[in-house]
């Protein structure tokens, strides 16, 4: 939503510049502004994509680690039960 608002704001600003006296200086300013805006938008999209990929990888790690954790927890529980049985029988 913020991205759409910033694009609308930028287009409105560009329109105001274009309605004024057109000159080479204004064109150069707009060209530089356009490049900065494009770079900023690309960075924002990349960050969002990176976050999405990170979430997906974390979710996959949790899914694959689940069975391993279950096996390890079962071993620990068996060892505790065995120690408790040995401690009670002595």
Kindly report, residue by residue over 32-81, the tens digit of the pLDDT.
788 888 888 999 999 999 999 999 999 998 888 888 878 878 776 666 66
Number of domains in the chain: 1
Q: CB neighbours of 70 closer than 8 A, spacing ≥ 6?
A: none
Runs of H (alpha helix) within the chain? 2-19, 24-89
- The pLDDT assigned to 83 comes to 65
Residue 21 has pLDDT above 60, yes or no: no
Show the tokens assigned to 59: 């979710």
Give the whole-angstrom CA distance, residue 1 versus residue 65.
36
Residue 22 has pLDDT above 60, yes or no: no
- The pLDDT assigned to 23 comes to 64
- The pLDDT assigned to 85 comes to 63
Say which DSSP state 23 is in: -
Contact 49, 43 (CB under 8 A): no
What's the whole-number mean pLDDT along residues 17-33?
A: 67
| Domain that residue 43 falls in | 2-89
- The pLDDT assigned to 86 comes to 61
* SS3 state at 90: coil
Give the whole-angstrom CA distance, residue 46 versus residue 48.
5
Show the tokens assigned to 79: 């060892």
């Amino acid at each position: 939503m913020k991205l759409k608002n910033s694009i609308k704001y930028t287009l409105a600003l560009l329109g105001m510049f274009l309605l004024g006296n057109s000159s080479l200086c204004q064109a150069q300013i707009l060209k530089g502004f356009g490049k900065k805006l494009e770079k900023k938008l690309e960075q924002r999209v990349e960050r969002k994509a990176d976050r999405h990929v990170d979430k997906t990888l974390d979710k996959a790690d949790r899914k694959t680690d689940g069975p391993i954790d279950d096996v390890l927890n079962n071993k620990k529980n068996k060892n505790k039960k065995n120690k408790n049985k040995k401690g009670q029988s002595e």
